[in-house]
Structure 1
C-alpha cells in the first residue's frame, strides 16, 4: 500500500488543477486517471470544439469578405483530413503540456480506474492500493446525457463527445438541444455548409441565460439560415435504411413535422460519472441526479471529512464549466494544505457560448435580479452603435443589469468576439463595482469593448453616443 497526502481520482480540469496546486504547496499527490489526463475538456470537448469553431470562423470570414468587402474569394472545399489533423495537433500539444506540468510538479500519475475502499483509501483495477493522509478528491467528471432509443453509433446518431470525430462533414444535421453545446455545434455545421435544424424543448435557446441574450442569439442564428425551433419536442426518430434519420418534432403550437437529416446530434446535457467509484464504501451517496453534494461549499468537502469534490460531480450552483473546475481545484488543494482561501463565487463565473454570434455573460440575469427583489435598472447598448461594431457588421448588444443606486448585478453580451470581452465584466461583477466606478475608466476607441464602457457611461449619467 502506497501513502500520499492527497489522492485525486480523475485527471480532467478539476483533477489536474487540484494536483498541481497541492504539489506546489508541498503535498505529495497521486493522480489516478483511467484515460488521458486533461479529461473531456481537452480531448473531446472545449479544446477540439473551439479549434473547429475557429476554422468555421475562417470560413465565415471568407463569405463576409466576398459579400461585404468586395474580395473575390470563395471556399472551394474543406479538406476534412487536414482540418482534423490541425485540431488533433492542438489537442496533442496541450496534452503533452499537461503531462509535463504534472511531471515537473512531482505528481505521480497512475493510469487506471479507481474505486473507494474507505474514507481514506483507494484501490485501482490493476490491484494497487493507496491511502490518503490528508484527503481524497473526487473529480471523475461527466458524460453526455443520452435518450432511450437514441443510442449513439458515432456516425448517424452522435453526442458532443463524438460529433467532431464522426467521419466527414454531413450535408444536413438535426441538433437536439439548444443549450451552449447544441448551439455551438449547430453553428459549426452551418458554417461548413450543412443544412441545420436546432430543436430546443424550452421556449428559448440557452434558457439559463438572460432572455434578451436568447432573443439576439436566435435572431443571429436564423439570419445565418439555421432553422431554430424553440418550444419543440422530439416525438420519435427512425433510422433510415440508406443512412440518416427521420424525426417527428412537435412544435410550440402542437403541430408535428417530419424532419430528415444525415446526422442527429444529441446535446441534451451531461450527467455525472460515478460508475465504479463505490461511493458507499466511503460512506457517501450520489443524489437523485447523480451529483455528489458537498456538506461545506466553502471547502467543497462532502459529509465524510477529508473527501472533497470538484468539477462536474458538483451540483448547481457549480456550473459544470472547465474554468469553474480550475477554481474549485485551487480551493480544495489549498484547503487540504491548510491555506485559508475564499470560496468560489459562482455568481462571478463567466458563461460563454462560442457560436456565431457568440454570447458571454456573468452575474444575474434581469429576471433573476427581479426575483431576488432588487430594484433593478437596465441599460442595453447595441454593438453597432459604436464604430467597431459597424465594421464587424454582425449586430450584437451589451446589456447591463444593476441595482438602482448600487452595484452591477450582471453583464450580458451577444456578438462577435464577446468571449474575449467578458473578463472586464467578470471583474466588475466580482468586485461589486457600481456603474460610476466603471464610467471613470477610459475604453480604447475604436473597439467593441467601447460599447461596454458606453453602457456604463449612460448608467452613470454621462452618456456620449447613446441617446
Structure 2
C-alpha cells in the first residue's frame, strides 16, 4: 500500500446524508471522495424510502381499482401480481440509482467502493477489490454509516429471512403473506400493514408495546390512525409486548405478554433501526459512541477534531430529509461558511400508510410535559369537499400558544398529508400567528384548504364545521 491519497473531504457512507454532503462540498470547490461498501443511495434508495413508497403507490392503485364502483367506474379488481409489482418497484430504484451515479461523476465526486476502517481522525483504510487503499481528509472526515433494522431479543424471533423478517426482506417479497404479524407500529410497521392488507392478505395484525400506534406523534393523530386501520380490517394491538415465539414449517406462533397468542405465516420485526458503527475504529480514533450512536454537537461535530457525523448514525430523527440537511450543514461548515443549527422540531415527520400521517412542531404531549400553555383546534377532513371525493378520513390539528401565541405544531392524518405538510412547515418555522395564516387564500376545492380552515378556527373565525 502506498502513502495515503488526500482529499479535502472524505465521506464514509454514500446514503442520503453522505452523498448530499459530498455533492455540496464539491460544489463549494472541495476535492471530495465518498467511500461506500454497497451502492450509493444507501438505505433510503435501495432498502427504505423509495422502494417502500413504490409499493405503497401500487397499493393505492389497487385500492382505487377495488373500489372503482364507488366512483361510478366499471372495473374488476383481480388482485396484484407481486412479481410484476417488484419489477415496477425496481425500475424506480434503478432509475434513481443511475441518476445519482451520474450526478456524482458530473459534479466531480470520487466514489471509492470498499469497506473502510478509521485509522485516526483523518484517515481511512479501505479494503477494495483492488487491495487496500488509504485515503486521508485534510479538512474534514464525515461519518455517514447509516443504520440497519433492529432485531428483537425475544426467544424464537431470531431473523431468518423466511418466517421472521425485517424490512430488508419485506421489500423484496415476491408473494403476499396470508397472515402477516407485524411487531412495531411506527413508520415501517403501519406502512407494511397498509401494503399487505391492500394487496390481499387475509389478516394483518400490528403489535405495539407502547400505548399507541405511531407513538411519537400527537395523541389525536395516533387515535385517528388506529381507528382508520381497524376500519380497514387490520387488527391493531397496542400496549402489549411480545414475550416469545414458536416456529413450524409453515407458521409462527407469537406469544404476548397479556397471555394471548397469535399465529401467522410470517412475522415482520419493525421495531426501529440500530446505528452501523461497530468494528469501524471510531472509538479508537477518538469518536465517542453511546449505544452505538456517534455523539455530536449542534454542528454535527464529534469530539475528535475535524471529524463530523450525520444521518442515522447520530440518532436524531432518522429521516432521509433531515440527513440531507445535515449533509449540507457539514459541507458548508467544513468550507468555512456560516451555518445555522438544524431545528429538528421544524423538520416534517411523515408516514405513507393509508391514511397518510405528517406532522411538524410539538405534540400536545410535549407541550403538556414542558408546561407550555396552548390551545388546540382540530378540523376534520369530513368537512372538506375534496377529501369527500376520495372517501378520506382524518383531520388537521393545530396547536397554538395561549392568548394569541404563534403556531406550535401542526398534525395531519388524512389524504396526501405527506405533501400538504410543506405549508405547515413554513407556518411553524416562521412562527406565524393563526390570525396571519387565516388571511391566506387557499384554492377551492383542495385538500390544503383544511390547513387554512384549521387556522381560521384557531383565529376565532371558523368557516365550515
CA contact (8 A) 1:5 1:27 kept: yes
Equivalent residue for 1:20?
A: 23
Superposition RMSD in Å: 1.1
Q: Does 1:230 align with 2:238?
A: yes
Residue in 2 that maps onto 1:132: 137
Partner of 1:339: 337
Report the alpha carbon displacement of residue 419 of structure 1 after superposing the two structures with TM. 0.8
In terms of mean alpha carbon deviation, does 165-174 or 102-111 score higher? 165-174
**Does the 8 Å contact 1:176/1:200 carry over to 2?**
yes
> Per the alignment, in what secondary structure is the counterpart of residue 33 of structure 2?
strand
Secondary structure class of the residue paired with 1:161: helix
1:304 Cα deviation from its structure 2 partner? 1.0
Map 1:296-335 to 2 at 5 A: 296-297=297-298, 299-315=299-315, 318-335=316-333
Partner of 1:425: 424
Equivalent-residue separation in structure 1 for 2:67 and 2:407 (angstroms) = 36
Given that 2:79 and 2:199 are in contact with CA atoms closer than 8 Å, whether structure 1 keeps it comes out as no
Note the C-alpha offset of 1:88. Answer: 0.4
Unaligned stretches of 5+ residues in structure 1: none
The answer for the alignment partner of 1:40 in structure 2 is 43
Tell me how far 1:64 sits from its aligned partner.
2.4
* Distance apart, 1:63 and its partner CA: 2.4
Match of 1:6 among 4, 9, 12: 9
Following the alignment from structure 1 to structure 2, what is the Cα–Cα distance between the partners of residues 89 and 303? 42
- Which ranges of structure 2 fall in alignment gaps of 5 or more residues? none
Alignment match, 1:116: 118
* Counterpart Cα distance in 2 of 1:246 and 1:322: 35
Matched with 1:359 is 357
Q: Distance in 2 between matches of 1:187 and 1:352?
A: 15
TM-score (ref. length: structure 1): 0.96
Instruction: Report the equivalent of 2:438.
Output: 439
Of the three residues 216, 221, 224, the one matched with 2:229 is 221
CA contact (8 A) 1:202 1:232 kept: yes
CA distance in 2 between partners of 1:263 and 1:49 (Å): 18
On the 8 A contact 1:154/1:162 being kept in 2, the answer is yes
Q: TM-score, normalised by structure 2?
A: 0.96
SS of residue paired to 1:442: coil
Residue pair 2:287, 2:295 contacting (<8 A) in 1 also? no
Aligned to 2:391: 393
Alpha-carbon displacement from aligned partner over 1:310-342 (angstroms, at most 9, x marks no partner): 000113xx2010000000000000000011111
Contact between 1:155 and 1:167, CA under 8 Å: does it hold in 2?
Answer: no
What is the CA-CA distance between 1:77 and the residue it aligns to?
3.1
Q: 1:246 aligns with which of 239, 253, 256?
A: 253
Q: Does 1:99 align with 2:97?
A: no
1:261 Cα deviation after fit:
0.9
Q: For the residues of structure 1 that align with 2:173 and 2:85, how far apart are their CA atoms?
A: 13
Is the 8 Å Cα contact of residues 13 and 322 (structure 1) preserved in structure 2? yes
What is the CA-CA distance between 1:398 and the residue it aligns to?
0.6
Cα deviation digits, residues 396-430 of structure 1 (max 9, x gap):
10100010221100000001111111000011111
Is the Cα–Cα contact under 8 Å of residues 155 and 166 in structure 1 kept in the other structure?
A: no
What residue is the counterpart of 2:452 in the other structure? 453
Q: CA deviation at 1:131?
A: 1.2
Q: Contact between 1:438 and 1:453, CA under 8 Å: does it hold in 2?
A: yes
2: CA distance, partners of 1:183 / 1:331: 32
The DSSP-based 3-state class of the residue aligned with 1:329 is helix
CA contact (8 A) 1:308 1:332 kept: yes
| Contact 1:34–1:112 (Cα < 8 Å) also in 2 | yes
Contact 1:136-1:308 within 8 A present in 2 as well:
yes
Is 1:182 the counterpart of 2:189? The answer is yes
Q: Per the alignment, in what secondary structure is the counterpart of residue 300 of structure 1?
A: coil
In 1, distance between residues paired with 2:67 and 2:363? 32
Deviations 1:368-407 (A, max 9, x none): 1122222101100001112112212221101000102211
Name the count of aligned residue pairs. Answer: 455
CA contact (8 A) 1:439 1:453 kept: yes
